Structure 1
Amino acid sequence: MRTRVKICGITRLEDAQVAVEAGADAIGFVFYAPSPRAIDVAQAAAIVRALPPFVETVGLFVNPDASFVRNVMDNAGLSLLQFHGDEAPAFCEQFARRWMKAVRVQTRADIESAYDTYSQASGLLVDAYDPQRFGGTGQTFDWSLIPDERPKPLILAGGLNSANVAGAVEAVRPWAVDVSGGVEREKGIKDPSRIIEFIREVNRVG
């Protein structure tokens, strides 16, 4: 099974185009104002309109108001929602749109319980734990905590880059990998060569 790739934290059309041309399956936009990779709805919509067919467009939210999510959905053309905060299952489910839930991992039980709690999600994204931040830490975590039993697709995130992603794919065999900081030259600005090398490494083993 081929491992899919999501390039997250896109803020510029040229970065999205490089990612797609290199073979990315999904492009992620951060709709969370405190993030250095945050984007507004109009900017995201312009990028989405320029993408070719069959590229997933993902909106990342952290404890948002439902009205904000609906506004982004109506105007940005998202195909998938990603909830990265403390959202309850009922909140995530209300938008009648496919969604996935991020889990900041400290123990194996965090993942196992999330699979039960968020059983209606399209997939579960596992990320490094940081008490101060909802993702974007640039840190890996202990991949041995990830269970073999996965009721839904598992997306691996957290500190991935071209130097470690091949090992991550071989160790975890995730449905997809998600990268942001690991392919940047500065926060919010991607590095084309790092994107290309990251996807090449995933494809080499996954």
Structure 2
Amino acid sequence: MKVKICGITDLTTAIAAVDYGADAVGFVFAESKRKISVIKAKDIITHLPKEVLKVGVFVNESKEKIEEIASEAGLTHVQLHGDETPAFSQSLSFPIIKAVGIHDNQSLKQLESYPCEYVLLDGPKGKFRGGNGLSFDWNCISPHDLKEKKVILAGGLDEENVEEAIKLIQPYMVDVSSGVETDGKKDLNKIQTFINKAKGSQTGGTRNEFIYTAE
């Protein structure tokens, strides 16, 4: 089971997350309490192992700005969290993770033919497009319908429910942000516990084609 820790804003947290077993880290470049500058993100990324995915989160940003930030910071993937069209996604030169707020199984229909390798299933929109700590009814969807995608499930995950969520959705990766915070700051103990529970929830076997994320 792979894990993504999103909303990284400092080097200490990034390195600790990777040491604990995180396979991907996320940097928010959209309006958010976790928004990070390109310079700071670049500095953090230069200290991370090559094999760790470095994901930049954007909301309705221009193609030029996304490409500029991704190249400068050293991102490996771009996460689109807004109303970006399939054509827009296809125009970008980086691998795409397309996020969508889930209400029911119909929410998945728009992703079936979307030009991306990864999709992120998130909770309802709050003040911001992601990272609101809101979950959705995991029983209302059948992510296996997205057979050609690697699905990232997000929204309201934490150390208490991640094992249950993984058993129900059978994802490829889990992604968490607010669920590993205390008083709005990343909590290293919570990150370690979350990663241990996520990776301990499945033992060997065939790799699932889904990514599960917690925002």
Q: Does 1:165 align with 2:153?
A: no
Cα deviation, 1:147-172, whole Å, max 9, x if unaligned, reads: 13222111110000000000000010
Answer whether contact 1:105 1:129 (CA < 8 A) is retained: yes
Q: Does 1:70 align with 2:67?
A: yes
Equivalent in the alignment of 1:50: 47
Answer whether contact 1:11 1:29 (CA < 8 A) is retained: yes
Answer whether contact 2:32 2:128 (CA < 8 A) is retained: no
One-letter amino acid of the counterpart of residue 59, structure 1 = G
Equivalent residue in structure 2 for 1:15, among 13, 22, 25: 13
Q: Does 1:195 align with 2:191?
A: yes
Tell me which moved more, 59-68 or 6-15. 59-68
Q: Does 1:88 align with 2:85?
A: yes
The unaligned stretches of length 5 or more in structure 1 are none
Answer whether contact 2:122 2:130 (CA < 8 A) is retained: yes
Normalising by structure 1, report the TM-score.
0.93
The unaligned stretches of length 5 or more in structure 2 are 203-215
Q: What SS is found at the alignment partner of 1:197?
A: helix
CA apart distance, 1:131:
5.9
Q: How many residues align?
A: 200
One-letter amino acid of the counterpart of residue 20, structure 1 = V
What is the rounded CA distance, in whole Å, between the counterparts of 2:191 and 2:71 in structure 1?
A: 29
What is the rounded CA distance, in whole Å, between the counterparts of 2:87 and 2:14 in structure 1?
A: 32
What is the rounded CA distance, in whole Å, between the counterparts of 1:57 and 1:97 in structure 2?
A: 11
Equivalent in the alignment of 1:122: 117
Answer whether contact 1:115 1:124 (CA < 8 A) is retained: no
CA apart distance, 1:42:
0.2
- The Cα RMSD (Å) is 1.2
What is the rounded CA distance, in whole Å, between the counterparts of 1:150 and 1:79 in structure 2?
A: 23
Tell me which moved more, 145-154 or 97-106. 145-154
Answer whether contact 1:138 1:182 (CA < 8 A) is retained: yes
CA apart distance, 1:112:
2.6
Identity across matched positions, percent: 40
CA apart distance, 1:133:
3.1
Equivalent residue in structure 2 for 1:28, among 3, 26, 29: 26
Normalising by structure 2, report the TM-score.
0.89
